[in-house]
Each structure stands twice: as structure tokens, then as C-alpha cells.
Amino acid sequence: MLEVIGSGLILVGIAFAENRGWLDREKVGFIVNVGMQAGICAGLLYFISRLSEMFL
């Protein structure tokens, strides 16, 4: 639950910084892309570790 709230706050913060002109669209796109890829990788690693516990 805290992870969802934290990631939501980060995305709101990035949108706020973009509207203020502190970040440009390319930087925001890069940050969001890297964040999504890291989340997917972490989810897959967690799934693989749980899978080995379930079947061994």
C-alpha cells in the first residue's frame, strides 16, 4: 500500500515540476520510462523467487 502511495506521489511531483518548467518533456519521459522498467523487473524477480518456493 505504501509503495502505491509513494509512486503516486512521485508521479504527481514530476507532473508538478513539469508544469512549473523545472523539467522538460524529454526528462519526464525518461524518468517515467526508467521507473516503469524498474518496476516490471522488480515484479518479475519477485515472481520468480516466489515461484521457486512454491514448487520446490
- pLDDT in the model for residue 46: 92
The per-residue pLDDT for 29 is 85
| Angstrom distances, CA of residue 10 to CA of 45, 46, 56 | 23, 22, 38
CB 7 within 8 A of CB 1: no
Q: What is the pLDDT of residue 19?
A: 87
pLDDT of residue 25: 83
Tell me the average confidence (pLDDT) per consecutive run of 10 residues in the chain, 56 residues long: 82 87 85 88 91 80
Q: Residue 51 — φ and ψ, nearest 5°?
A: -65, -40
Q: Which three cell numbers stand for residue 54?
A: 512454491
Q: Report pLDDT for 35.
A: 85
